A and B are shown apart, each in its own frame.
Chain A
Amino acid sequence: MKEEVDDVRLVNAVKRFGTVVAVNDVSIDIARGSIFSLLGPSGCGKTTTLRLIAGFEQPDAGDVFIRGARVTSMPPYRRDFSMVFQSYALFPHLTVAENVAFGLRMRRVARGDRARSVDEALDLVKLRTLADRYPRQLSGGQQQRVALARAIVVKPAVLLLDEPLGALDKMLREEMQVELRGLQQRLGITAVFVTHDQEEALTLSDRVAVMHNGVIEQIGAPREIYDRPRNAFVASFLGASNFVEGDVVAADASSIVVDTPAGRVSVHGERPIGERARIAVRPERLRMQRGGAQGLPARVRDIVYRGPVTHFYMDSAAGPLLAYRQDARAGEWAIGDEVRCTWDADSAVVLDEGGE
C-alpha cells in the first residue's frame, strides 16, 4: 500500500450562522493529488465547508489543516490554496494575461518568470491567443478556462473549485469535466470540488462526500457511494432508487431475508431478526420476468422510451417500482402486464435509518 499524504484535513469543523448550523461536525481527509467532491443539494453546507478551508469563514469549533499546518485562524491570503469561483470573479479591469499573473505578482515572482509561467498556464487551457483580451470579451467557457489558469499558475497546495462548471451548458460542461480531470492528473494537484450535480461528482472525483443539512452522510469512492449508499438520502440523491421495507425474518452471516408486503426478498447486509429493514435497489439492477414464483409481483403502469434505455414504472404491494432496461426485449412489455421483479442479493443494500 502506498503511503498517502493528506493535503487538506478538516477536524470536527462546526460553522453556525445565527441559529442555523451550516456545517455540523464535519471531518474530512483529502489525499495528495486526488480530487475530492463535496456533493449535495443547495443549502447543505458544501460551499461553507469549502469556505472554511479557504479561510473566508472561521469555524466555531474544530480545526483546518493544509499540508499538515494548522491554518484554522490564519487569514485566507496566507493559506496555500487558490480558488475557482462559480461566477469566475475574473478581474474586469485586467486582461487575461494580467488576471493569470495576479497571483504571481502577489507572491512577488520576478517579471520574467511571471511571464513564462503565465504563458505556460495559458497554453494548458489553450488560451494563449487571447492573452490581451479583457474578460468581458470572452465567452463563458473561455472565462472558465482563464479562471482555471489563474488558479493553477500559482501551484497551490490545494485547488478549491466552487461549482466551477455550473454556468456552462451541458455539452461544454462535459467537455470541461474531462479536461479538468486531465489537467488535475497531469499537474498532480489536490482539488476540492463543490457541486450539486451527482453525475459531475461521479465523473470527476476520487472520493465523494455527500452532504445534507450540514452533515456528511457518506464519504467514499464514487462507485462505493453509488452502489452501496448508506441511507435513503444518499440513495435517492445519487440517481434513482427503489425502496422496499419489511421485517427481517431470517439472517445469516452475510445476508438477511426481509418480508415485504409483496413477498420475501433476500439482500446482502446485517440486521437482527425481528427488526424493520429498508432496502434500496437501483432501477438498472431490477430484472423483470414473466410468471414464476420468485421476486415481487407487480403490474406495469407506464413505459417511457428514452432512447438507449426504457423506463418501466410498476406498482406492487410493497410500493412503486422502477426498472431501466436497455436490452432488445424491452419492447416486448406492455402497460398492464403482470411482472415478477427480482434482483441479485448483492445488488441491493440495507439502509441505515436517518438521512431524511
Chain B
Amino acid sequence: MKSAWTWFLLAPPLALALAFFVVPVAYLFWVSLHAASPSELYGASLTLRHYTDVLGDPFYLAIVRRTVGIAAVILGLCLAIGYPVAYFVALLPVRRRMLAILLLLFPLMVSNVVRAYGWVALLERRGVVNTALRDLRLTDAPLELLYTPSAVVVALMTILLPYMVISIANALAALDRRYEEAAQALGASPARTFLHVTLPLSTPGIASGTLLVFLLTLSAYVTITLLGGPRSKLLVSLVYDNVTAFQWPRAAALAFVLLALALAFTALILALLRPGRVQGAGR
C-alpha cells in the first residue's frame, strides 16, 4: 500500500520532468548531431562536426579553458573566504546564526541585472573606483577594470559566496562538538583537531557548497555579459551568440559541452570528498 501511494504522489512530478526536461534534452542532443540549416532548426545530414570543432578549434578551446579557469578561481576564493566565515557563523548561538544567514542572503535579494549595473558604475573608466583613485592622485590614467576576467570573478564571487558560507555553516553547526573534544582528549592540538576531525566531518557542506558555486558559475549569464564584455566571453556567451546567429546545432553542442563539464566536475568532487562517508553522522 505504501509503495502504491508513493508512486501516486511521485507520478505527476516525474511525468513533468520527463515531458519538459528529459525529452527536450534528448531532442537537443539529437539537434546537436546535425548540420546547420539556413531555414530549419537543423539540417538534414548527421554530423559530429560541432563537437570536433568545439574540442579541436583553438578559439573554442581557449574559451572552454577560460570558463573552467574562471570557475576554478571563483571556487578557490569562495572556499578560502567562505570557510572561515562559515566557521564563525556556525559557532554563533542559534538566533544570531539565523540573523547572520539572513544578512548573508541579503545581496541575493537584489536582482542580478541591478547588481551587475552597480558593478559597472563602480568599475567603468569614469566610475567610482577610478574617480577615487584619480582624486587621491594614485593613478594618472584610469585603470581598465571593467570588461576583464577579474571583474567577472569579483562580481560572481560576491553573489556565490553566500551559497558556500551557508552550506558549510550548516554542516559545521550540525557537527557534534564531542568529536572535537574526543580528538583533544586523544592529544590533538586545536590545529590538528581541525585538520583531522572538523575539516573531514564538514565535507558534506564543502561538497554541496562547491557544487553550487561551480554549477552556478557555469550557468551565470547576465554578470558575465555585462561585466566581461566581448573580450572575456565564456561558454554560455557562445551558446547565446550561436543561437542569435541561427547556428542552432552548434549552440546545442556547446550546451552539451557545458553539461559534460558540470557532470565531470560533480563526479570529481564526489570522488574526492566522499561526503557520503560522513553524511548523517553529524549528530
User: Given the complex of chains A and B, what is the CA–CA distance between A7 and B246 in angstroms?
Assistant: 83
User: Given the complex of chains A and B, what is the CA–CA distance between A83 and B186 in angstroms?
Assistant: 8
Q: Select one of B179, B181, B186 contacting A106, CB under 8 A.
A: B186
Please give, as numbers and ranges, the residues of chain B lying within 8 Å of A65 by CB-CB distance: none
Q: B185 to A91, Cβ gap below 8 A?
A: no
The number of chain B residues touching the other chain, given as a range, is 20 to 34
Q: A102 to B186, Cβ gap below 8 A?
A: yes
Q: Given the interface contacts A87-B178, A89-B176, A91-B179, does A136 sit within 8 Å of B281 by beta carbon?
A: yes
Q: A85 to B182, Cβ gap below 8 A?
A: yes
Check if A81 is an interface residue, CB within 8 A of chain B.
yes
Q: Tell me the residues in window 187-239 of chain B with beta carbons closer than 8 Å to chain A beta carbons.
A: 187-190, 192-193, 196-197, 200-201, 203
Check if B96 is an interface residue, CB within 8 A of chain A.
no
Check if A77 is an interface residue, CB within 8 A of chain B.
yes
Select from chain A the residue with minimum beta-carbon distance to B199: A93
Give chain A nearest CB distance to B48 CB in angstroms. 44
Check if A56 is an interface residue, CB within 8 A of chain B.
yes
Give chain B nearest CB distance to A103 CB in angstroms. 4
Give chain A nearest CB distance to B231 CB in angstroms. 45
User: Given the complex of chains A and B, what is the CA–CA distance between A105 and B189 in angstroms?
Assistant: 12
Check if A75 is an interface residue, CB within 8 A of chain B.
yes
Q: A92 to B181, Cβ gap below 8 A?
A: no
Check if B47 is an interface residue, CB within 8 A of chain A.
no
User: Given the complex of chains A and B, what is the CA–CA distance between A150 and B197 in angstroms?
Assistant: 15
Please give, as numbers and ranges, the residues of chain A lying within 8 Å of B176 by CB-CB distance: 87, 89
Check if A76 is an interface residue, CB within 8 A of chain B.
yes
Please give, as numbers and ranges, the residues of chain A lying within 8 Å of B200 by CB-CB distance: 93
Most A C-beta atoms less than 10 A away, residue of B179, B181, B182: B182
Q: Tell me the residues in window 97-115 of chain A with beta carbons closer than 8 Å to chain B beta carbons.
A: 102-103, 105-107
Q: Given the interface contacts A85-B181, A89-B182, A91-B182, does A106 sit within 8 Å of B201 by beta carbon?
A: no
Select from chain B the residue with minimum beta-carbon distance to A92: B281
Check if A154 is an interface residue, CB within 8 A of chain B.
yes
Select from chain A the residue with minimum beta-carbon distance to B189: A77
Q: Select one of A75, A89, A103 contacting B178, CB under 8 A.
A: A89
User: Given the complex of chains A and B, what is the CA–CA distance between A79 and B178 in angstroms?
Assistant: 17
Give chain A nearest CB distance to B189 CB in angstroms. 5
Give chain B nearest CB distance to A163 CB in angstroms. 13
Check if A54 is an interface residue, CB within 8 A of chain B.
yes
Please give, as numbers and ranges, the residues of chain A lying within 8 Å of B181 by CB-CB distance: 54, 56, 76, 83, 85, 89
Q: Tell me the residues in window 118-156 of chain A with beta carbons closer than 8 Å to chain B beta carbons.
A: 134, 136, 150-151, 154
Please give, as numbers and ranges, the residues of chain B lying within 8 Å of A151 by CB-CB distance: 185-186
User: Given the complex of chains A and B, what is the CA–CA distance between A91 and B200 in angstroms?
Assistant: 10
Give chain A nearest CB distance to B82 CB in angstroms. 21
Please give, as numbers and ranges, the residues of chain B lying within 8 Å of A150 by CB-CB distance: 186
Q: B185 to A81, Cβ gap below 8 A?
A: yes
Q: B185 to A76, Cβ gap below 8 A?
A: yes
User: Given the complex of chains A and B, what is the CA–CA distance between A39 and B214 in angstroms?
Assistant: 54
Check if A82 is an interface residue, CB within 8 A of chain B.
yes
Q: A106 to B188, Cβ gap below 8 A?
A: yes
Select from chain B the residue with minimum beta-carbon distance to A105: B196
Q: A77 to B188, Cβ gap below 8 A?
A: yes
Check if B278 is an interface residue, CB within 8 A of chain A.
yes
Q: B186 to A82, Cβ gap below 8 A?
A: yes
Most A C-beta atoms less than 10 A away, residue of B181, B186, B278: B186
User: Given the complex of chains A and B, what is the CA–CA distance between A290 and B137 in angstroms?
Assistant: 111
Give chain A nearest CB distance to B205 CB in angstroms. 13
Give chain A nearest CB distance to B93 CB in angstroms. 14
Give chain A nearest CB distance to B168 CB in angstroms. 16
Please give, as numbers and ranges, the residues of chain A lying within 8 Å of B278 by CB-CB distance: 92-93
User: Given the complex of chains A and B, what is the CA–CA distance between A91 and B199 in angstroms?
Assistant: 12
Q: A102 to B185, Cβ gap below 8 A?
A: no
Give chain A nearest CB distance to B206 CB in angstroms. 13
Check if B277 is an interface residue, CB within 8 A of chain A.
yes
Most B C-beta atoms less than 10 A away, residue of A83, A106, A150: A106
Select from chain A the residue with minimum beta-carbon distance to B181: A56
Q: A92 to B187, Cβ gap below 8 A?
A: no
Please give, as numbers and ranges, the residues of chain A lying within 8 Å of B183 by CB-CB distance: 91, 102, 106
Please give, as numbers and ranges, the residues of chain A lying within 8 Å of B186 by CB-CB distance: 82, 102-103, 106, 150-151, 154
Please give, as numbers and ranges, the residues of chain A lying within 8 Å of B37 by CB-CB distance: none
Check if B184 is an interface residue, CB within 8 A of chain A.
yes
Select from chain A the residue with minimum beta-carbon distance to B179: A89
User: Given the complex of chains A and B, what is the CA–CA distance between A103 and B187 in angstroms?
Assistant: 6
User: Given the complex of chains A and B, what is the CA–CA distance between A142 and B193 in angstroms?
Assistant: 25
Q: Produce 1/0 per residue, A42-86, CB < 8 A to B.
A: 000000000000101000000000000000000111000111010
Select from chain B the residue with minimum beta-carbon distance to A76: B184
User: Given the complex of chains A and B, what is the CA–CA distance between A76 and B193 in angstroms?
Assistant: 12
Q: Produce 1/0 per residue, B6-33, CB < 8 A to A.
A: 0000000000000000000000000000
User: Given the complex of chains A and B, what is the CA–CA distance between A151 and B181 in angstroms?
Assistant: 13
Please give, as numbers and ranges, the residues of chain B lying within 8 Å of A76 by CB-CB distance: 181, 184-185
Q: B277 to A93, Cβ gap below 8 A?
A: yes
Give chain A nearest CB distance to B187 CB in angstroms. 4
Q: Given the interface contacts A92-B277, A93-B277, does A83 sit within 8 Å of B182 by beta carbon?
A: yes
29 contacts between A and B (CB under 8 A): A54-B181, A56-B184, A75-B184, A77-B184, A77-B185, A77-B189, A77-B190, A81-B185, A82-B185, A82-B186, A85-B178, A89-B178, A89-B182, A91-B179, A91-B197, A91-B201, A92-B277, A92-B281, A93-B200, A93-B203, A102-B183, A102-B186, A102-B188, A103-B186, A106-B186, A106-B187, A107-B187, A151-B185, A154-B187
Residues of B that sit less than 8 Å from A by CB: 176, 178-179, 181-190, 192-193, 196-197, 200-201, 203, 277-278, 281
4 tightest Cβ-Cβ pairs between the two chains A and B: A92-B281, A103-B186, A89-B182, A106-B187
- Kindly list 4 other residue pairs between chains A and B, CB separation below 8 angstroms, not including A77-B184, A106-B183: A77-B188, A87-B178, A92-B278, A154-B187
